[in-house]
Structure 1
Amino acid sequence: MASNRSYTVIGLFMFGAIALVVVGVLALGGNRLLSNSRQAIIFFDQSVLGLSNGSKVLFRGVQVGTVKNVQLRLDPNVGKARIGVTIEMAGNNTVMMNGSPTSSDVTTEELVRRGLRAQLVVWSYVTSQLAVNLDFQPDTKPRFVANRDDMELTEIPAVPSEIEQLKDTVTGLPWKDTLETVNETMESVVTLANDMDQLLNRMGPNLEKTTTTTREAIAAARDAVYMNSRQFEKTLESVRALTDNVNTQIESRDEQLTRLLDNAEATSANLQQLSENLEDLTDPNSGTRQDVESAIRDLSAGASSMRRFAETLERDPNALLFGGGQR
C-alpha cells in the first residue's frame, strides 16, 4: 500500500510539473505557437544604423512583425559584405479580406512573386530609430543576393530607401561639370568686371569732357530760349497792336458801311417808287397812259407835217417865199 501511494504522489507531482511547463510555455510563447508566424531574411546594401533586434516590421504603417536578428554576412566568393536582417511576421496581425486567418497556402515566396519588397524607413527622427517597411511594388525587378537553394529562410528583395534614392539622385548629378561651369562663369564675370573697370577709367576724362560740353550746350540752349522768348513777346505785342488797328479800321468802316446801307435802302425805295410809276404808265386803264398815247399821236402827226413840209421845200425852194399855192 505504501508503495502504491508513493507512486500516486510521484505521478501527481509529475503531472503538475508538466502542467506548469505547459502553462509557462503558453504564457511566454504560446502566442507564437498559435499565431502561424513566419520568418524571412532581407539583405541591405546601405547602413542599418538605428535598426536593432526588436525593431518594428511594418506594412504601410501597420506593424506585422519584428526584427529578430541583424547580422553581418560575408560573401568570400564576390568579396562583398551584406547586412542580413531576419524578420518574423506574426500571423495574428494579418488576416484575409473577409477577416478569416491567412491560409498556409499564401507563402512568403508567393508574396515575393506578387511584388513584395522591403525598404528601410525612419521610425523616429528623435532617436534615429529605423524600421523595416514591407509593400507590394510589382514594377520593381527583384534583386536576390543569396542563392535560394542555400538559404533556410525565404529572401525578401530589398529596394533602396528614400534617402538612398535621394542620395543616388544627387550623386548622379553632374556636380563636377556644374562646378566647372560655375567656376568658368565666375572667372568670366571677374574678367568682365576688370574690363569694365578699365574701360570706365579710360572713358572717365571723355565723360567729363562730354559732361562739360553738355552743360555748355544746355546753357546755350537756355540763353537761346530766353532770347527767343523775348522776341516772341515783342512779336506778340506787334500782333496785339495790329489787332487793335484792325479793330479801329473795322469800327470806322462800320460807320461808312452803315451810311452806304442807308443810301442803298433809299435807292431801293426810289427804285420801288419808279417801278410803281412805270406800272401806272403801262396800265391800259391808266389816264397817264392815255395822255402819253395822245401826246405820241400828236407828235407823230406833227412829225408827218414836218416831213411833208420838208419834201415840199425840197421840190420847190421858192415855196417858202411864195407859198405852195403859186405853183
Structure 2
Amino acid sequence: MSINRGLVFSLGLAICVILMGAFTRLEDAGLGCPDWPGCYGFVTVPTQAEHVQAAEAAFPERPVEAYKGWLEMIHRYIASGLGLTILLLMVHSLRQKKLGHKTQSKLATTLFALVCFQGALGAWTVTMKLLPQVVMAHLLGGFTVFSLLFLWWLRRQMSESSLQEPALKALAPLASLALVLLVGQIMLGGWTSANYAATACTELPMCEGNWRERLNFAEAFSLPSGEHDSYEFGVMDYSARMTVHISHRVGAVVVSLVLLLLGWRMLRACQNPLVRQAAWLMLALLVVQFGLGVSNIVWQLPLAVAVAHNGGAALLLLSLVLINYLSWRKA
C-alpha cells in the first residue's frame, strides 16, 4: 500500500473513531467495559453465562451490559486499527527517507507518538471513571490525529504545486485566528459533553428562567480532583452545567462570525479556484454545523444529530486546516 492510499485509509478510520467515540459516549457506554484493554478481563464482551458470572464477581459494581460493552470494544478495535495503520505509515516513511526520498518523517513520528498517547488517554478514561478533563483531552486528541493525517495528505498532494494568491497571504492571520477559535470551541464542546451539560438549557437563544443570576463560572470550569467514585452522568450541579452550556452557545456565535468574515473576505479577494472552493466548503460546513447545534437543543439531543454534530466539527476543522495550509505555505 502506498503512503497516499494509507493516508486516505487512515483518514477514514479516524473519522470512524471520532463518530464511534461520540456514539459510545452518547449511549452512556463509556464504562461499558470497566477495565482496559479487555472487557471484564476478556478479549471480547463476555456473553456466556459462566463468563458473565465471573465478570460480575470481579466487578460487582458494574453488571455486564452486552450492548454497551460491545460499543466500547468496537470503538477500541477501530482505534487499534488506526494506531496500527499509522505505525505502518511511519515505518514506510522512515524507510523512504533512508532511500533518499522526500518524506514527512517528522510528522509521521509525531503522529505515532500522539496516537500512543491517545491510547493512554483511552485507558485513563476508563480507569479514572470518565474524569471530565481526561474525556475532553481524549476527544481533542482524536481531532488532532485526524487533522495531522489530513495535513500529511495535503503536503503529499500539493508538494509539487504552487499557489500564487497574494490576497490569501494577507488573510493568513485571520485564518489562524479562526482555527484557534474553532479549536477552543471544540474544547468547549468536549467539556460540555464530558460534564453531561448538553441538555442543561432547553430554550433558545440562551436558557430558560433567570439564567443570568445562576451563572457559576468558577465551578463550571474547575477541574475535578478525582474524589468521586465515578463521573458517569456528571457531578456538577445545575448552575455549573448551565454555565458550561451557555459558554458553548456563545462560543458558537463568536466562531461563526469569525468564520463568516473569513469566508466572505476570501470570496471577495481571491480568484484562485482552489481557494474559492475551500471558502465555500468551510461556509457550507459552518451552516450545517450551526443547524445541527440548534437541532440538538430543539429536539433534546437526538442520537443521530448529536453524533453528526461531532462529525461536523471534525470536518469543519479540516476545512480550516486546508485554508491555513494554503494561506501559510510557501509556493
Question: Structure 1 length normalisation: TM-score?
Answer: 0.13
Which is bigger in relative contact order (C-alpha 8 A, separation at least 6)? 2
Higher strand residue share? 1
Higher-Rg structure is: 1
Higher helix residue share? 2
